Chain A
């Protein structure tokens, strides 16, 4: 069964450093998303992406964040200058056109020290 994959599974970085989180969505899906879950809190939407541009973003997704689809398979989330409060699980998801169900990857645990 096709699945969303994410790398790395765990990333430790120092405050102020740039990180890139990588995702490979399900191959025939057209919509891509990033969500995050701070420990003990709910899963929160960050950004959605379609046709090589951002469709929607939340208040969390400020100028420090960017997304890119550098090739036909990868979808990346970049945090330019990490802060302690960026420590969280980051989930990538994808969905088919005109469906509600989103399929999530296993997540990347980001730890900012």
Chain B
């Protein structure tokens, strides 16, 4: 069962424009959401996160929005840069420390110069 879904396997965006990556979840027990970025032959790198008590978290060019009633979150990258080209994974957790992360299948972002 897919508790975390990323329905777009790929996304192409022009350099300088906004990239929007989407994620949906089904488990109401999730209380924390994370975005990871992954380059080929590397492990997932933590990018940004958001608690379920918030609806927005911003870190530089990256902003994550959470719509809890819709069980939907999105990652906005503005402006997009060629170095942002990677696979982005949405992950969710039911609790801090020692709790498994549940990942989506990922979205491959290509930023075209």
Contacts and interface: CB of A to CB of B under 8 A. Distances in A.
B45 interface: yes
Nearest to B42: A106
A4 interface: yes
Most buried by B among A6, A58, A98, A104: A104
B42 A42 contact: no
B44 interface: yes
Most buried by A among B96, B97, B103, B106: B97
Interface residues of A, number: 31
A31 interface: yes
A104 B96 contact: no
Interface stretch (A14-22, A48-56, A64-72, A75-83): A48-56
B98 A31 contact: yes
Nearest to B43: A104
Interface string B73-101: 00000000000000001010101111111
27 contacts: A42-B105, A42-B106, A43-B91, A43-B101, A44-B103, A48-B98, A48-B99, A50-B98, A56-B98, A56-B99, A56-B100, A58-B100, A91-B44, A95-B98, A97-B97, A100-B49, A100-B95, A100-B99, A101-B49, A102-B46, A102-B101, A104-B43, A104-B44, A104-B45, A107-B41, A107-B42, A107-B43
Interface of A: 4, 6, 30-31, 33, 35, 41-45, 48, 50, 55-56, 58, 91, 93, 95-107
Interface of B: 32, 34, 36, 41-46, 49, 89, 91, 93, 95-106
